[in-house]
């Protein structure tokens, strides 16, 4: 890296992505078809929760590599009337037969096959959100039918899905339940522009759409019987009892109320990484208390501060775990959102990087999480919803329900396993070991920023892309709110990432005047208030 102040950065041209501007409401997602479905729900009088559910049903069809009914999600809901947030945790859970050593010396067992699947929370979370926080102006089936029709008509294969299926073709052929992902006309994976039929999933969605109690059907009824049987036949450990005992968790507002004037950042507790993401933003806001122009971004010192803030924040992630099982994580989460903790980090900030021990935390590794889909919605009533949904790795465990066309997650791979260090030699995180009923840590950080005084939403944001979600979302908040960029400029800007374990800074290939280091992809969807309109990217 250049020495601080030695070489000013020169940022590259904007991307070809479009920044939309909306007067009343906005929906931003990873797929245009799904954004349109969400927008139609809003036009029919639905609220941000209704639209988010409809979009996530759709993403399970268009982005099967990243999300679907076989996975789970985290959702942050801001209610304009109450002026507060709540968080829904519908993450997958470890089945009752799971134990901390089940994947010792069997790293592939947590990634591939039915044993890799955790009890899915996706549908239970949707139903809870709809029945407790939906508008009441649209029916449950209205949220599902567009996605069922898409399955019937065939899903247009995107370039990205084409590329992912090429990578996963070996697994499609290895696991018999995935044979439908091979085009029978070509004996190869489906290509860009092909229509990918998902007939079994269409039948499943229609059954759920027409049910008066889809959770009973899926988790305790005939579908649960079939799912449990398929799991057992495939070597999995999810039972009907695991399905019947699944419940989404709901948390009242966890928030940083001090980071900039009247603005509040809100999200959920661990296993969400909201508290890690907000700390990066809070530290940068404290270092740059007055709104600066974008010229400050050409000063390497600002980038150095961002990297150091990431290191302090990610260092604490190694101490976090499911708050229902790791009581110290609940206390730490509250501390990380406090003004005192931000001040502590700022006071320790130096103009040069320090040894790893300086940043707090412990030298333990977090399991790298993977693909996700992000949904950001703002409705005309002033409510904001940020949701991140996942099946973990591409196509989850690479197995599917033959009866229902549901791709199962490999969320057991998001837990840590005793005695299995990562590629850099760091010990596994003890707070993230497997326990029955536990939910693995995630980098997912769906959050909402609002003005506590006016109750107006300023930003609805989240990201996809594994462990880099935290740095990507923090960047997309810091650059507009602190340094005055547009939301498109912020999301387009090159990525910089340091997750403390390892203490290595990775940079995007478009980063100015610096040699390229290793970097993986990330995406971010956000809605930002701009004057009297909303900008989505």
Query: pLDDT (tens digit, 0 to 9) for every residue of the chain, 537 residues total?
Result: 333 334 445 556 666 666 777 788 999 998 999 999 999 999 999 999 999 999 999 999 999 999 999 999 999 999 999 999 999 999 999 999 999 999 998 989 999 999 999 999 999 999 999 999 999 999 999 999 999 999 999 999 999 999 999 999 999 999 999 999 999 999 999 999 999 999 999 999 999 999 999 999 999 999 999 999 999 999 999 999 999 999 999 999 999 999 999 999 999 999 999 999 999 999 999 999 987 777 777 788 888 999 999 999 999 998 999 999 999 999 999 999 999 999 999 999 998 889 888 998 655 555 555 668 999 999 999 999 999 999 999 999 999 999 999 999 999 999 999 987 644 344 688 999 999 999 999 999 999 999 999 999 999 999 987 888 999 999 999 999 999 888 888 888 888 888 888 788 888 777 665 433 333 344 455 556 554 444 554
Binding-site residues? 91, 390-392, 414, 442-443, 466
Q: What is the pLDDT of residue 127?
A: 99
- The number of CA neighbours under 13 Å toward the Cβ of 204 is 27
Contact 525, 388 (CB under 8 A): no
CB 467 within 8 A of CB 369: yes
Q: Check 76, 372, 501, 525 and give the catalytic one.
A: 372
Whether 170 is in a domain gets the answer yes
> Does the annotation mark 76 as catalytic?
no
**Which residues belong to the annotated binding site for L-glutamate?**
91, 390-392, 414, 442-443, 466
Rounded to whole angstroms, the Cα distance separating 143 from 133 reads 14
288 domain residue, yes or no: no
| Residues pairing with 255 in the sheet | 266
pLDDT at 500: 82
Determine, yes or no, domain membership for 185: yes
Task: Select from 287, 265, 289, 286 the least CA-distant residue to 277.
Answer: 265
Neighbours of 290 (CB within 10 A): 5
Q: What is the pLDDT of residue 527?
A: 58
Per DSSP, 529 falls in state E
Task: Give which of 273, 283, 266, 347 is closest to 499, Cα–Cα.
Answer: 273
SS3 67: coil
Tell me how far CA of residue 339 lies from CA of 279, 334, 450, in angstroms: 10, 10, 18
- Within-domain flag for 531: no
Q: Which of 72, 77, 178 is nearest to 117 (CA)?
A: 72
| Omega cis (within 30) before 502 | yes
Q: Largest Cα–Cα distance of the chain, in whole Å? A: 67
How many other CB atoms sit within 10 Å of the CB of residue 263?
19
The tally of domains found in the chain comes to 1
CB 494 within 8 A of CB 1: no
pLDDT at 519: 34
The two structure tokens encoding residue 105: 């010396």
- Sequence-distant (≥ 6) Cβ neighbours of residue 352 within 8 angstroms: none
Helix (H, G, I), strand (E, B) or coil at 195: strand
Q: End-to-end distance of the chain based on CA atoms, in angstroms? A: 30
Contact indicator for 348, 499 with CB cutoff of 8 Å: no
The reply to whether 114 falls in a domain is yes
* Cβ neighbours, 10 Å, residue 474: 26
Distance CA 237, CA 95 (A): 7
The CA distance from 151 to 10, in Å, is 46
pTM: 0.91
**Alpha helix (H) ranges present in 199-296?**
199-209, 214-215, 222-233, 240-245, 274-287
Q: Please report the pLDDT score of residue 292 as a whole number.
A: 74
Compute CA distances 60 → 54, 74, 260, whole Å: 10, 15, 36
For position 498, what pLDDT does the model report? 87
User: Structural domain of residue 39, as residue ranges?
Assistant: 31-45+92-248+390-432
- With respect to residue 211, please indicate whether it lies within any of the assigned structural domains: yes
User: Rounded to an integer, what distance in angstroms lies between the CA atom of residue 251 and that of residue 266?
Assistant: 11
Tokens read off for 154: 């065939």
283: left (phi over 0), alpha (psi -120 to 50) or beta: alpha
**283 in any annotated domain:** no
Count of CA atoms in the C-beta half-sphere (13 A) of 193 = 0
Tokens for 266, please give them: 């809100």
- DSSP secondary structure code for residue 354 in this structure: -
Q: Where is 159: in which H helix or E strand?
A: helix 159-174
The angle formed by the CA atoms of residues 28, 29 and 30, to the nearest 5 degrees, is 145
Report the candidate in 15, 3, 10 with the shortest Cα–Cα distance to residue 489.
Answer: 15
Q: Does residue 54 lie within any of the structural domains?
A: no
Please, what is the Cα angle at 95 between 62 and 430, to 5 degrees? 100
Integer CA distances (angstroms), 433 to 28, 95, 112, 318, in order = 35, 13, 19, 12
- Which positions ≥6 away from 268 have C-beta within 8 Å? 74, 76, 87, 88, 89, 251, 254, 274, 446
pLDDT number for residue 488: 87
What is residue 297's DSSP assignment?
A: G
Return the HEC string of 168-186.
HHHHHHHCHHHHHHEECCC
């Amino acid at each position: 890296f250049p020495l601080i102040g030695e070489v000013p950065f020169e940022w590259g041209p904007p991307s070809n992505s479009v920044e939309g501007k909306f007067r009343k409401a906005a929906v931003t997602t990873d797929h245009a078809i799904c954004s349109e479905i969400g927008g139609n729900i809003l036009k029919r009088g639905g609220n941000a929760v209704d639209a988010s559910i409809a979009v996530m049903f759709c993403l399970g069809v268009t982005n099967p590599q990243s999300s679907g009914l076989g996975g789970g999600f985290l959702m942050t809901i801001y209610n304009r009337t109450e002026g507060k947030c709540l968080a829904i945790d519908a993450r997958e859970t470890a089945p009752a037969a799971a134990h901390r050593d089940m994947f010792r010396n069997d790293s592939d067992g947590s990634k591939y096959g039915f044993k890799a699947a955790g009890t899915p929370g996706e549908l239970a979370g949707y139903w809870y959100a709809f029945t407790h926080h939906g508008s009441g102006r649209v029916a449950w089936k209205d949220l599902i039918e567009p996605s069922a029709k898409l399955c019937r008509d065939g899903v247009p294969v995107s370039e990205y899905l084409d590329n992912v299926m090429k990578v996963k073709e070996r697994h499609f052929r290895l696991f018999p339940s995935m044979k439908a992902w091979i085009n029978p006309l070509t004996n190869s994976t489906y290509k860009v522009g092909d229509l990918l039929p998902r007939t079994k999933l269409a039948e499943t969605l229609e059954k759920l759409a027409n049910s008066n109690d889809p959770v009973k059907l899926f988790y305790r009824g005939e579908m649960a019987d079939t799912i449990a049987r398929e799991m057992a036949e495939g070597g999995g450990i999810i039972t009907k009892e695991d399905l019947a005992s699944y419940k989404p968790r709901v948390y009242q507002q966890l928030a940083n109320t001090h980071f900039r004037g009247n603005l509040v950042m809100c999200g959920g507790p661990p296993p969400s990484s909201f508290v890690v993401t907000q700390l990066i933003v809070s530290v940068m806001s404290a270092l740059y208390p007055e709104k600066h122009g974008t010229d400050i971004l050409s000063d390497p010192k600002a980038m150095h501060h961002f990297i150091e803030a990431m290191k302090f924040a990610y260092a604490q992630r190694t101490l976090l775990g499911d708050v229902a099982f790791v009581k110290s994580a609940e206390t730490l989460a509250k501390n990380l959102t406090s003004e005192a903790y931000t001040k502590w980090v700022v006071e320790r900030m130096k103009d040069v990087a320090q040894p790893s021990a300086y940043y707090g935390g412990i030298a333990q590794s977090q399991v790298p999480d993977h693909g996700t889909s992000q949904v950001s919605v703002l409705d005309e009533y002033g409510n904001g919803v940020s949701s991140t949904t996942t099946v973990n790795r591409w196509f989850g465990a690479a197995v599917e329900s033959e009866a229902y066309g549901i791709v199962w997650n490999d969320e057991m791979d998001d837990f840590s396993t005793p005695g299995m260090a990562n590629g850099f030699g760091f010990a596994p995180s003890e707070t993230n070991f497997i326990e029955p009923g536990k939910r693995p840590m995630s980098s997912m950080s769906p959050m909402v920023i609002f003005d506590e005084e006016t109750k107006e939403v300023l930003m609805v944001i989240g990201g996809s892309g594994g462990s880099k979600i935290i740095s990507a979302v923090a960047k997309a908040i810091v650059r507009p709110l602190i340094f005055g960029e547009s939301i498109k400029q912020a999301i387009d800007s090159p990525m910089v990432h340091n997750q403390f374990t390892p203490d290595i800074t990775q940079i995007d290939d478009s980063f100015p005047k610096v040699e390229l280091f290793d970097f993986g992809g990330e995406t971010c969807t956000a809605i930002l208030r701009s004057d009297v309109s909303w900008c989505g990217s």
